[in-house]
Amino acid sequence: MILPRTVCYLKITFRRVANGDKMDIYDFGVILLEMVTGRPITSIHEVEIMREQLQSALTSESPARRRLLVDPSVGRACSDESARTVMEICLRCLAKEAAQRPSVEDVLWNLQFAAQVQDDWRAGDSRSQSSEESPLSPSQIPRAAA
């Protein structure tokens, strides 16, 4: 009885070591999914269901359909383009095949891009109306000179 458990454990451990960062990227995708949706994920089955919902929402041209999946507080505080970028990177992180997942550098670049888009949207919003700051703090991404 101990042998199958040991073999199973070794297979899982080997897969995790062999795929290194790609397993961490999947785990990060789960965390990102929880942040976007505002719902805790308690099983792999839930991840699959929510991943399919995310895929469906992203293929829709309707921002309103995407907003249905997003946590309301995130939806109110984020531009559609920024939220869409985060949803896309989340979906890529949750790819079934490890080789299809993005690198850590690619994830960081996309999240920085989403933050920059968000900062530009927020700056435009503050120019057009004097409303209070959103609950999300602005990122500290240095902007390249044009």
* Mean pLDDT, the chain, whole residue set: 76
CB proximity list for 107: less than 8 A, separation 6 or greater: 25, 28, 89, 93
Most confident among 11-15, 58-62, 90-94, 123-127 (mean pLDDT)? 90-94
Domains (range + CATH), the chain: 11-123 (1.10.510.10)
SS3 59: helix
Span 12-67, pLDDT tens digits = 444 544 556 788 899 999 999 999 999 998 888 999 999 999 999 888 877 888 88
